[in-house]
């Protein structure tokens, strides 16, 4: 007990403070909150929590659709090597399936939010086993962590469609791909530095213009609060069994928030610089899998399909990748600059097959590489992280 009590003050007493980002306490979001709420920050024993949630199938069967959502609270005052250990995970809710709770997750979260709000406003009398004294403990939710679909559930923000970027909001640059039947998000050069050479390469990108815009500023907590304060949300199922579909009328501004998040019950929520965080693990794995499947030309999984080539043709860009008709309703797809012939694909798989990495660093990649079929199947998240990084010395021989 004494050691646990001492570890709760590690971020204030034992953390190296050299200006580098080693702990959440080094982040601007942490410092910004402490500067506003000085009553909370003056006692380093007050814990800050991360709330994380995601759906998973507990039955481990692909043919059984079931989505159960655990909601876990993690205190982040602890040292980094101790913070993410399982004994420190607080399972606060277990939302049953068989489907995602959607907007109704706020109904399940309400008891938890009310209790956490009371712990922030009033606190609870607690005994400090390290200092041998009683004190009034207060708790705050620092942020939430989820993947992108989970962000739509937890925060009620649009993560797909015309304005599907939560950071770009109304300034999201998107258009509809006619053949691919999906929304495409472009104009990424505006996120680069002001003097980056890509900004002036007008012929290399689809709009054919020199990019002079800067990256859009994310909405502040006060702006999100004002945009959502008048949104009325009806929870639960319709007694008539009908699904209500709200259509935007002509002239109405696009709706980037589906509902007012229950987290705004905390009076400090609008003061947080980064209230919601994206789990990079999911994004990195999806990007890595798509790159691998495209490089190896895996049927059904590559992004270089006939639909993507026809979309390039409709947009009038990358003429070297336009489909070549060879018959009635049949086309020949020219190879992209990064395409590999069968010999190179086999060599690529052979390199991964013979990779030697530190024990415990990644899983055994050799089991997931089929050199004969030139396929990579079942990579774990840590494997995708390693493959997405720059080449490390002595990793590949």
Q: What is the pLDDT of residue 117?
A: 96
Confidence check: pLDDT of 235 > 70: yes
What's the pLDDT score for residue 74?
Answer: 94
Q: By the 8 A CB rule, do 74 and 49 touch? A: yes
Distance CA 206, CA 319 (A): 11
In 3-state terms, what secondary structure has residue 162? Answer: coil
Backbone angles phi, psi at 221, to 5 degrees: -65, -35
Minimal CA–CA distance to 162: which of 192, 140, 185? 185
Q: What is the pLDDT of residue 336?
A: 87
pLDDT at residue number 50: 95
User: Do the Cβ atoms of 164 and 172 come closer than 8 Å?
Assistant: yes
Mean pLDDT, to the nearest integer, of 373-393?
Answer: 73
CA distance 242 to 239: 8
Token pair, residue 35, equals 């500067």
DSSP string, 86-153: GGG-EEEEEE--SS--GGGHHHHHHHHHHHHHHHHHT-EEEEETTTTEEEEE--EEEEEEE-HHHHHH
Q: Tell me if 126 sits within 8 A of 260, measured CB to CB.
A: no
pLDDT tier at 264, thresholds 50, 70, 90: very high
Task: Name the strand (E) or helix (H) holding 278.
Answer: strand 276-278
pLDDT at 75: 94
pLDDT for the residue numbered 397 = 42
Say whether pLDDT at 112 is over 90: yes
End-to-end CA distance of the chain, in Å? 48
SS3 content of the chain, % helix, strand, coil (to 5): 35, 15, 50
Which pLDDT belongs to residue 394?
44
Q: Assess whether pLDDT exceeds 50 at residue 246.
A: yes
Average pLDDT, the chain: 86
Q: What pLDDT digit, counting tens, does each position of 135-165 carry?
A: 999 999 999 999 888 999 999 998 988 888 8
Q: Helices then strands (H, E): number in the chain? A: 12, 13
Give yes or no for residue 326 having a pLDDT over 80: yes
pLDDT of residue 396: 47
How does 181-196 read in b/e, with b if 16+ C-beta sit within 10 Å? eeeeeebebeeeeeee
C-alpha to C-alpha distance for 32 and 40, rounded to whole angstroms: 12
Percentage of the residues of the chain whose pLDDT score is greater than 90:
33
User: Can you give the pLDDT at residue 61?
Assistant: 62
Given a contact cutoff of 8 angstroms between Cβ atoms, the answer to whether 117 and 264 are in contact is no
Confidence tier at 65 by pLDDT (50, 70, 90): confident
Q: Is 70 left (phi over 0), alpha (psi -120 to 50) or beta?
A: beta
What mean pLDDT comes out for the span 212-231?
90
Average pLDDT over residues 208-222: 88
What per-residue confidence (pLDDT) applies to 378? 73
d(CA 304, CA 207): 21
Across-strand partners of 257?
A: 157
Residue 67: pLDDT above 90? no
Give the pLDDT band of residue 391 (cuts 50, 70, 90).
low
pLDDT at res. 250: 66
pLDDT value for 247: 63
Report H helices in the chain: 2-7, 10-13, 28-36, 38-41, 80-83, 105-121, 148-155, 221-228, 280-296, 306-315, 342-353, 381-388
DSSP state for residue 56 in the 8-state scheme: B
Instruction: Give, in order, the Cα–Cα distances in Å from 188 to each of 22, 148, 158, 173.
Output: 29, 19, 19, 9
349: helix, coil or strand? helix
**Residue 58: closest CA among 96, 87, 25:** 96
**Mean pLDDT within 340-359:** 83
Using CA atoms, how far apart are residues 340 and 126, in angstroms rounded to an integer? 64
What is the arithmetic mean of pLDDT over 210-237?
A: 88
Indicate if the pLDDT at residue 244 is higher than 70: no
Listed ranges 26-40, 237-251, 378-392; the one with the highest mean pLDDT: 26-40
Span 41-63, average pLDDT = 86
């Amino acid at each position: 007990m004494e050691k646990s009590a001492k570890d709760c003050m590690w971020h204030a007493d034992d953390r190296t403070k050299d200006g580098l980002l080693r702990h959440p306490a080094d982040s601007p979001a942490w410092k910004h909150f402490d500067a506003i709420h000085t009553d909370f920050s003056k006692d380093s024993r007050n814990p800050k929590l991360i709330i994380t949630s995601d759906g998973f199938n507990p039955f481990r069967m692909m043919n059984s659709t079931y989505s159960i959502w655990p909601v876990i609270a993690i205190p982040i005052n602890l040292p980094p090597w101790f913070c993410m250990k399982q004994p420190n995970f607080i399972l606060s809710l277990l939302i049953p399936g068989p489907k995602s709770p959607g907007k109704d997750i706020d109904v399940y979260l309400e008891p938890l939010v009310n209790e956490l709000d009371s712990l922030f406003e009033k606190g609870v009398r607690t005994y400090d086993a390290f200092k041998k004294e009683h004190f009034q403990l207060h708790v705050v939710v620092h942020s939430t962590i989820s993947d992108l679909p989970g962000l739509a559930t937890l925060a009620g923000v649009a993560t797909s469609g015309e304005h599907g970027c939560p950071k770009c909001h109304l300034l999201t640059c998107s258009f509809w791909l006619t053949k691919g039947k999906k929304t495409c998000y472009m104009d990424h050069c505006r996120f680069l530095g002001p003097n980056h050479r890509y900004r002036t390469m007008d012929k290399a990108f689809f709009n054919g213009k020199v990019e002079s815009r800067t990256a859009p500023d994310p909405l502040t907590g006060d702006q999100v609060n004002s945009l959502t304060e008048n949104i009325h949300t009806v929870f639960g199922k319709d007694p008539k069994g009908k699904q209500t579909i709200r259509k935007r009328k002509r002239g109405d501004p696009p709706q980037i928030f589906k509902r007012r998040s229950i987290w705004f019950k905390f009076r400090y929520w609008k003061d947080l610089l980064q209230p919601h965080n994206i789990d990079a693990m999911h994004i990195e794995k999806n990007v890595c899998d798509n790159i691998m499947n495209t490089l190896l030309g895996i049927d059904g999984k590559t992004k270089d399909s006939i639909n993507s080539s026809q979309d390039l043709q409709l947009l009038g860009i990358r003429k070297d990748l336009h489909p070549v008709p060879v018959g009635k309703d049949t086309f020949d797809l020219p190879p992209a600059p990064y395409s590999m012939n069968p010999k190179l694909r086999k060599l690529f798989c052979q390199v991964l097959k013979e990779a030697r990495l530190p024990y415990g660093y990644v899983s055994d990649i050799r089991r997931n590489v089929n050199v004969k079929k030139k396929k990579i199947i079942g990579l774990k998240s840590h494997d995708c992280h390693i493959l997405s990084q720059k080449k490390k010395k002595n990793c590949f021989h």
